[in-house]
């Protein structure tokens, strides 16, 4: 509590009344807003009389009356339910509005009525849409038990289910449906011709002769064998053009455009969803000022209904507050560091960062080696053991999963030595984990491509290794398929074989080790990274395996129920809570990084790498992108010139320059606004002090003639000094009576 040099505030900062202060226009306008809280006409009457009776408030009275009317006009325009009043008052307002509306012209009446009806229609539509939402009851229950942090994970999962479903419908509608329709209706289809060259040799991988059952399982798990020649993979789509009665359907073009469309759609949907979160996060990160207010005023989740959860929430809030207060103290300590200490810390950080880079490089190298080994083992068609075969197939996935399991533990140990502030520690570790997870997919793809485009010592005839990879897109699709399946298996296995036993052990066996291990906590960041990893694989793989989004939809559907059951039975809420708002922004941010990462391989393979000549829709073209350029050249003149201009360098450069200029302008504007806000804040503070100073002087000046006032009056005045005053806390030193030339009636000091 600052020691005000102008006023002395007592220990509790209790406001004392001051009739002068109560007459200020700003107080009166707030009073009008608060008037609704206790709905008595008497009160309204009393304030009105106070206004009229305060002679010194004549100027104040007129401004208040103007504000009165302005408030009234404002409330008229707003829907009634947005007023903070009791039901009875709202009803009265409504009848008042209706009466007034009757006086209006019929045009206005009609306008108001339509507005009201539209609003009702919109509300009904929103109702109906929200009742269709998937898993509403389950999510509500989770919210009640665990709070909004974990809730955001589950609503994120729901979002991904919907996204994958839409992507699948897109691919199905534009690529698979025409083929199915054509085969049933009268459409003629032209297939890609086998032109006899060496590049278009495609040995069938279907199994011949007697097939043992476990080979079926191997096929199912690895996407090979009988699955290879199905709609599942790129290689099956051999259709070139479909001739319907009045139109030609160019399937390769549709395939390419559908790919671009689903990436674009995902981008737009994610950005739209995160728009509000972005803005808020930027604002609250800019001025790091709000953390305490946010924790105290918005700290309690009112949707918690479980007694246990409430108790845990309380303890987590306590922990969080204590940590934040301690962090403030640590920040102070950091600012006080000597130069020698700083050098030491920087040296340690450098060494540890180099160590982290070394670990990452090691992991990536092992993924590379595993991929090459796996590809070579598959190429040999070694008819070894069934299990060994599967392991060779899944070797990259196994290595990636192991790396992603070990590295977070390592990072969280290392970060302790780097001596950052606690909040930064968490964020930095998380960033490292995100980088590890998403780059491991990139490394896998890179090693695959290095295999595909390697033809011994000579450059490849067909642009790719046609002997080993006659249909390389299908192989890439199979790898993505295997990654998805393995990811799902691991999640299920960890839940069944690690989390449930952990709960049983910790609950039934008391010893030091189990106490240290403790009950499972639902670690939101790791879980989110898991599903973002799965989604990135889906985005990359959809081009090579068009049914992958459907598989991912089903996978996430089951993951929801598995995670929910595990959460309810095995987990306790986290001690370190994950803020709901921040977390949603974090989820969508990581998802965007995943999307950006997914676009890169798809773009490179569409534009750079020669598509296989033996399978797939793009046989007649060198690269997949060529189909688009060919179609553009066949378009009518005007459209073609337009499209060519749009893709020319001149346009791109000028567009880039214009975007940069716009960005600089917006940044400058934001900086200017921030400066203005700071100035206004300072001005507000000064105005407040000015006001208090002036009022004190005024009271002092009035005290001199009032010394002769009767004592009884002063006693009465001080006893009624409990009125709610909105502005300042005054000294209780003014125990003498303070009253103005025209003192207001008694009832007005108590509101």
Partner 1 sequence: MGTTASQIGKDRLAEYQELTFLTKQEILLAHKKFSELLTKDERDLQNIRVPMETILTLQELKSNPFRNRICHVFSTSDIKNGSLTFEDFLDLLSAFSDSATLEIKSHYAFRIFDFDDDGTLDCGDLEKLVNCLTGETDDTRLTSEEMRQLISNILEESDIDKDGTVNLSEFQHVISRSPDFVSSFKIVL
Q: Interaction with partner 1 in 129-148: which residues (CB under 8 A)?
A: 131, 140, 148
The piece of 59-67, 89-97, 370-378, 499-507 that touches partner 1 (CB under 8 A) is 89-97
Q: How many residues bind partner 1 (CB under 8 A)?
A: 82
Task: Copy the structure tokens of residue 77.
Answer: 């325009």
- What is the rounded distance in angstroms from the CA atom of residue 529 to the CA atom of residue 532? 5
The piece of 261-269, 321-329, 441-449, 524-532 that touches partner 1 (CB under 8 A) is 321-329
The reply to whether 299 sits near partner 1 by the rule CB under 8 A is yes
The piece of 119-127, 241-249, 414-422, 596-604 that touches partner 1 (CB under 8 A) is 119-127
The reply to whether 181 sits near partner 1 by the rule CB under 8 A is no
Pairing of strands 248-250, 520-521: unpaired
Three-state SS string over 394-417 comes to HHHHHHHHHHHHHHHHHHHHHHHH
- Report, in Å, the least distance between residue 684 CB and partner 1: 5
- Report, in Å, the least distance between residue 17 CB and partner 1: 10
- What is the rounded distance in angstroms from the CA atom of residue 160 to the CA atom of residue 599? 17
The reply to whether 90 sits near partner 1 by the rule CB under 8 A is yes
Q: Please identify which residue in 65, 344, 576, 681 interacts with partner 1, judged by CB under 8 A.
A: 681
- Report, in Å, the least distance between residue 327 CB and partner 1: 12
- Report, in Å, the least distance between residue 578 CB and partner 1: 11
Q: Please identify which residue in 728, 737, 738, 744 interacts with partner 1, judged by CB under 8 A.
A: 728
Q: Please identify which residue in 59, 297, 509, 516 interacts with partner 1, judged by CB under 8 A.
A: 297
The reply to whether 692 sits near partner 1 by the rule CB under 8 A is yes
The reply to whether 725 sits near partner 1 by the rule CB under 8 A is yes
3-state DSSP assignment of residue 550: helix
Q: 478 or 728: whose CB is closer to partner 1?
A: 728
The reply to whether 660 sits near partner 1 by the rule CB under 8 A is no
The reply to whether 14 sits near partner 1 by the rule CB under 8 A is yes
The piece of 48-56, 162-170, 447-455, 722-730 that touches partner 1 (CB under 8 A) is 722-730
Q: 58 or 120: whose CB is closer to partner 1?
A: 120
Task: Copy the structure tokens of residue 60.
Answer: 């104040």
The reply to whether 15 sits near partner 1 by the rule CB under 8 A is yes
The reply to whether 37 sits near partner 1 by the rule CB under 8 A is yes
Binding marks (x or -) toward partner 1, 459..498, rule CB under 8 A?
----------------------------------------
Please give the residues from 384 up to 413 whose contact with partner 1 meets the rule CB under 8 A.
none
- What is the rounded distance in angstroms from the CA atom of residue 29 to the CA atom of residue 35? 10
The vertex-210 CA angle with 207 and 211, nearest 5°, equals: 55
Burial 32-57 (b: 16+ CB within 10 A, else e): beebbeeeeeebeebbeebbeebeeb
Please give the residues from 266 up to 295 whose contact with partner 1 meets the rule CB under 8 A.
277, 280-281, 283-284, 289-290, 292-294
Return contacts of 687-694, CB within 8 angstroms, 24+ apart: 688/728, 689/6, 691/24, 691/727, 691/728, 692/4, 692/6, 692/7, 692/728, 692/730, 693/6
Please give the residues from 536 up to 595 whose contact with partner 1 meets the rule CB under 8 A.
579-582
- Report, in Å, the least distance between residue 113 CB and partner 1: 13
Please give the residues from 325 up to 364 whose contact with partner 1 meets the rule CB under 8 A.
325, 328
Torsion region of 678: left, alpha or beta (phi above 0 gives left; psi -120 to 50 gives alpha): alpha
Q: 322 or 697: whose CB is closer to partner 1?
A: 322
CA dist 302 → 137, 148, 299, 458, 590 (Å): 17, 10, 9, 69, 28
Q: 280 or 503: whose CB is closer to partner 1?
A: 280
Give the residue among 50, 17, 47 at the shortest CA–CA distance from 35: 47
- What is the rounded distance in angstroms from the CA atom of residue 77 to the CA atom of residue 411? 57
Contact 618, 637 (CB under 8 A): no
Q: Please identify which residue in 42, 81, 102, 208 interacts with partner 1, judged by CB under 8 A.
A: 81
Task: Copy the structure tokens of residue 135.
Answer: 């898993």
The piece of 169-177, 475-483, 519-527, 681-689 that touches partner 1 (CB under 8 A) is 681-689
Q: Please identify which residue in 33, 272, 697, 750 interacts with partner 1, judged by CB under 8 A.
A: 33
- What residues contact residue 108 under an 8 Å CB cut-off, 6+ apart? 101
- What residues contact residue 296 under an 8 Å CB cut-off, 6+ apart? none
The reply to whether 2 sits near partner 1 by the rule CB under 8 A is yes
| Cα of 599 vs its chain's centroid, Å | 20
Give the residue among 138, 171, 259 at the shortest CA–CA distance from 557: 138
Q: 39 or 631: whose CB is closer to partner 1?
A: 39
The piece of 258-266, 389-397, 623-631, 727-735 that touches partner 1 (CB under 8 A) is 727-735
Task: Copy the structure tokens of residue 369.
Answer: 């080696």
- The torsion angles phi and psi of 518, rounded to 5 degrees, stand at 70, 175
């Amino acid at each position: 509590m600052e020691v005000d040099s102008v006023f002395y505030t007592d220990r509790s900062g209790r406001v004392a009344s001051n009739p002068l202060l109560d007459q200020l226009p700003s107080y009166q306008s707030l009073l009008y807003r608060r008037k609704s809280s206790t709905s008595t006409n008497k009160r309204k009457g009393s304030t009105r009389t106070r206004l009229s009776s305060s002679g010194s408030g004549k100027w104040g009275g007129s401004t208040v009356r103007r504000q009165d009317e302005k408030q009234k006009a404002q409330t008229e325009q707003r829907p009634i339910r947005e007023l903070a009043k009791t039901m009875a008052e709202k009803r009265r307002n409504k009848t008042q509005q209706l009466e007034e509306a009757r006086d209006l012209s019929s045009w206005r009446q009609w306008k108001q009525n339509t507005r009201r009806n539209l609003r009702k229609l919109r509300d009904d539509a929103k109702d109906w849409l929200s009742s269709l939402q998937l898993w509403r009851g389950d999510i509500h229950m989770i919210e009640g038990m665990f709070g909004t942090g974990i809730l955001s994970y589950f609503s994120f999962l729901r979002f991904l289910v919907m996204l994958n479903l839409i992507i699948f419908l897109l691919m199905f509608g534009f690529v698979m449906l025409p083929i199915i329709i054509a085969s049933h209706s009268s459409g003629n289809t032209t297939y890609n011709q086998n032109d006899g060259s060496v590049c278009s040799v495609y040995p069938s991988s279907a199994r011949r002769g007697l097939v043992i059952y476990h080979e079926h399982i191997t096929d199912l798990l690895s996407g090979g064998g009988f699955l290879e020649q199905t709609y599942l993979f790129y290689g099956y789509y051999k259709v070139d053009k479909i001739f319907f009665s009045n139109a030609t359907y160019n399937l390769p073009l549709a395939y390419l455009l559908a790919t671009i469309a689903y990436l674009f759609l995902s981008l737009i949907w994610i950005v739209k969803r995160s728009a509000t979160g972005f803005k808020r996060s930027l604002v609250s990160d800019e001025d790091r000022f709000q953390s305490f207010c946010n924790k105290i005023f918005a700290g309690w989740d009112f949707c918690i209904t479980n007694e246990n959860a409430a108790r845990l929430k309380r303890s987590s809030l306590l922990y969080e507050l204590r940590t934040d207060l301690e962090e403030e103290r640590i920040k102070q300590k950091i600012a006080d560091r000597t130069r020698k200490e700083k050098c030491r810390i920087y040296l340690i950080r450098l060494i540890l960062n180099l160590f982290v880079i070394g670990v990452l490089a090691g992991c990536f190298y092992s993924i590379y080696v595993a991929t090459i080994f796996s590809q070579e083992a598959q190429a040999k068609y070694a008819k070894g053991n069934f299990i060994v075969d599967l392991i060779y197939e899944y070797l990259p996935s196994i290595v990636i999963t192991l790396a992603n399991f070990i590295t977070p533990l390592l990072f969280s140990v290392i970060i302790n030595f780097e001596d950052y502030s606690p909040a930064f520690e968490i964020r930095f570790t998380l960033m490292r984990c995100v980088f590890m997870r998403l780059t491991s997919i990139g490394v896998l793809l890179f090693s695959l491509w290095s295999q595909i485009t390697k033809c011994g010592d000579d450059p490849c005839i067909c642009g790719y290794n046609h002997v080993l990879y006659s249909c390389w897109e299908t192989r890439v699709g199979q790898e993505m398929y295997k990654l998805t399946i393995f990811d799902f298996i691991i999640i299920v296995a960890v839940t069944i074989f690690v989390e449930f036993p952990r709960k049983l052990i910790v609950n039934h066996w008391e010893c030091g080790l189990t106490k240290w291990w403790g009950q499972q906590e639902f670690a939101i960041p790791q879980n989110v990274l898991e599903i973002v990893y799965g989604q990135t694989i889906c985005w990359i793989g959809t081009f090579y395996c068009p049914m992958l989004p459907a598989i991912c939809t089903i996978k996430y559907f089951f993951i929801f129920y598995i995670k929910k059951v595990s959460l309810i039975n095995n987990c306790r809420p986290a001690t370190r809570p994950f803020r709901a708002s921040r977390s949603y922004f974090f989820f969508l941010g990581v998802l965007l990084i995943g999307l950006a990462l997914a676009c890169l391989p798809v773009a490179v393979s569409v534009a750079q790498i020669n598509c296989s000549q033996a399978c797939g829709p793009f046989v007649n073209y060198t690269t997949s992108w060529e189909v688009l350029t060919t179609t553009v050249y066949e378009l009518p003149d005007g459209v073609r010139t337009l499209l060519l201009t749009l893709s020319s360098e001149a346009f791109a450069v000028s567009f880039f320059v214009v975007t940069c200029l716009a960005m600089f302008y917006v940044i400058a504007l934001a900086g200017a606004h921030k400066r203005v806000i700071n100035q206004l804040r300072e001005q507000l503070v000064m105005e407040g002090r000015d006001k208090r100073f002036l009022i004190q002087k005024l009271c002092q000046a009035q005290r001199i003639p009032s010394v002769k006032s009767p004592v009884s009056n002063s006693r009465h005045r001080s006893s009624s000094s409990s009125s709610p005053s909105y502005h300042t806390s005054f000294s209780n030193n003014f125990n003498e009576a303070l009253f103005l030339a025209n003192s207001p009636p008694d009832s007005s000091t108590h509101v």
